[in-house]
Amino acid sequence: MGVLDLLDRWPVFRQLRKGDATALGDTAMTERSRHLEPRTAGADRVVKSVCPYCAVGCGQDVYVKDGRILDIEGDPDSPISRGRLCPKGSATFQLVTGSHRIHDVLYRRPGGTEWERLPLERAMDMVAERVKHTRDATWEDTDVNGLDVHRTLGIAHLGGATLDNEENYLIKKLFTALGIVQVENQARI
């Protein structure tokens, strides 16, 4: 390798040689960085989604390869966020892939001190049994003034800000059908 080639590996020298005062162009690159590719380059499709972390609802592009998520980035088409994500939203990839994520239902029975692992089907049955029991035990056809109400005040729901529009719609629909009137969301508090 000649002296000029050696000097050319020095970014300041390349800047001087090419008159690139800001070093924002080609002179900022190395042989290694010239061949780097974003990890999204191998995606076979991009799915539009919404950040689940807060009520702002920033748009996200979910990059998928062979049915697995490669990366999640801000969606430039979103009129809400125009491609931006805050640090929390930028870390959404870890929400679905993080090694600390719990994949089982954990249950701590009344008075219990330990978490027990339950099959999802069993846990869903337990929730349904409790809803049915409480609704039956607290059902009111009329209020204290004799007005028709057909409701239960024995169950309330507080949703989290990570719920999206579609989930909130279904929750409200289900709970209203059950006669549950105390339905609130953390995003309104």
Report the interface residues with ligand SF4, using CB under 6 A.
Answer: 51, 53-54, 56-58, 81, 85-86, 88-89
43 versus 85: smaller Cβ distance to ligand SF4: 85
* Least Å from the CB of residue 39 to ligand SF4: 19
* Least Å from the CB of residue 46 to ligand SF4: 17
Write the Ramachandran bin of 72: left for phi over 0, alpha for psi from -120 to 50, otherwise beta: beta
Do 105 and 123 meet the contact criterion of CB atoms below 8 Å apart?
A: yes
* Least Å from the CB of residue 83 to ligand SF4: 11
Question: Cβ contacts of residue 160 below 8 Å, gap of 6+?
Answer: 185, 186
- Residue of minimal CB distance from ligand SF4? 89
* Least Å from the CB of residue 184 to ligand SF4: 20
19 versus 98: smaller Cβ distance to ligand SF4: 98
56 versus 118: smaller Cβ distance to ligand SF4: 56
65 versus 84: smaller Cβ distance to ligand SF4: 84
